[in-house]
């Protein structure tokens, strides 16, 4: 949950659309937690797989560059 909140906070900081009309927290991590609690942010399992594949490719590229 902490990773999800952190990623969403970075999206908010980058100017992504806010999912609630008002927030109690002035900080982006708090805003992200409020969105998660409201059910507006979910974990996309396909996204996690893509991330893992990208990490594997990065590691392979680093090995090839050595």
Give the tens place of pLDDT for each residue, 20-66: 999 999 999 999 999 999 999 887 767 666 666 667 777 777 777 66
Is-contact 35 41, C-beta < 8 A? yes
Q: How open is the CA angle 36-40-45, to the nearest 5 degrees?
A: 80
Determine the pLDDT at residue 23: 98
pTM for the predicted model, two decimal places: 0.67
| Residue-wise pLDDT tens digits, 10-33 | 999 999 999 999 999 999 999 999
Distance CA(43)–CA(55), nearest Å, equals 18
Cα–Cα distance measured from residue 49 to residue 40, given in angstroms and rounded to the nearest whole number: 21
Nearest to 1 by CA among 37, 27, 31: 37
């Amino acid at each position: 949950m902490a990773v999800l909140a952190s990623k969403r906070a970075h999206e908010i900081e980058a100017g992504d659309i806010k999912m609630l009309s008002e927030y109690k927290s002035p900080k982006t991590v708090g805003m992200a937690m409020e969105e998660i609690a409201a059910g507006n942010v979910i974990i996309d399992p396909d996204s996690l797989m893509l991330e893992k594949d990208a990490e594997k490719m990065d590691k392979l590229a680093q090995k090839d560059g050595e």
